[in-house]
Structure 1
Amino acid sequence: MSEGTVAGTGRRFPGAVFGVGSEPDARFSLANERTFLAWIRTSLALVAGGVALETLGLDLQPGLRLAASIVLIVAGTLLPLVAWAWWMRIERALRSGSPLPATIVGVVLALVVSVVGVLVLLGVLLR
């Protein structure tokens, strides 16, 4: 069985993506997959940062430290779901020859990190 096929069917998973259009240039599909994996690495870093922030018990105002940790962990938990949906949208657009959809994921993630930075800064100043 080749990678990405469903056992016994010869069809690729997910069908909602691979059942659309025609096979694009492999370089574009592989670039899309690398981007997906980069988002997964980012989500792991967010979760690890949130766990570390709370576990290390840094000398920050406890409520703000906990809030920053929760924001990081929630963002890191949701990001793989967003990344998967985004990978599927891009792959379908590549397969159908449609323009690539616009995204705000990067902007939202930058906002999340900025909020965490403000919470940590306040945690330092208010300890």
Structure 2
Amino acid sequence: MDVHDPPPPPRFPRSVFGTGAEPDVRFTLANERTFLAWSRTALALIAGGVALEVLVIGMQPGFRLAASLLLIAAGACLPVVAWFDWMHTERALRLGRPLPHSPLGIGLAIVIAVVGVLVLCAVLVQ
């Protein structure tokens, strides 16, 4: 950077980018790709919940509605949790610390297992 170049604009969030030193760009981009993958998963959860409720198939309505609402709620919450996960990981990269544990995998596994049980009950209890 030349002395006469203007300073780069501040990056958001400052609580992350104002911390530590710039990590290898490959790690930052990998962290961003992970966040985007969780966002795509959230869209799929919402779409699955809507489809389950809109496509009136031979299922017990109460269980079907519960499964749909759980999928939609999980899809709505997932990007928020993924954002905080991205921030914690990026901050750890910038400070040279070990990467934090992410609760997303186990949380999503539990939601999918519960939805599976609800759908199974909806099919069996017609």
TM-score normalised per structure 1: 0.92
Instruction: Give per-residue Cα distances to partners, 1:23-64, cap 9 Å, x unaligned.
Output: 000000000000000000000000000000001112100000
Counterpart for residue 61 of structure 1: 60
Separation in structure 2 between the aligned mates of residue 34 and residue 103 of structure 1, nearest angstrom: 15
Q: Higher Cα Rg: structure 1 or 2?
A: 2
- CA shift at 1:9, angstroms? 7.2
- CA shift at 1:11, angstroms? 0.7
Counterpart for residue 116 of structure 1: 115
**RMSD value over aligned CA atoms?**
1.2
Counterpart for residue 43 of structure 2: 44
Counterpart for residue 33 of structure 1: 32
* 1:85 is aligned to 2:72: no
Instruction: Give per-residue Cα distances to partners, 1:61-95, cap 9 Å, x unaligned.
Output: 00000000000000000000000000000000000
- CA shift at 1:104, angstroms? 2.2
Q: Helix, strand or coil for the counterpart of 1:100?
A: coil
Q: Helix, strand or coil for the counterpart of 1:60?
A: coil
Unaligned runs of 5+ in 1: 1-7
Separation in structure 1 between the aligned mates of residue 80 and residue 105 of structure 2, nearest angstrom: 14
Aligned length: 120
Q: Percent identity?
A: 63
Letter in 2 for 1:126: V
Separation in structure 1 between the aligned mates of residue 114 and residue 10 of structure 2, nearest angstrom: 43
TM-score normalised per structure 2: 0.93
Q: Helix, strand or coil for the counterpart of 1:46?
A: helix
Q: Helix, strand or coil for the counterpart of 1:41?
A: helix
Q: Which runs of 4+ in 1 moved over 2 A?
A: none
Unaligned runs of 5+ in 2: 1-6
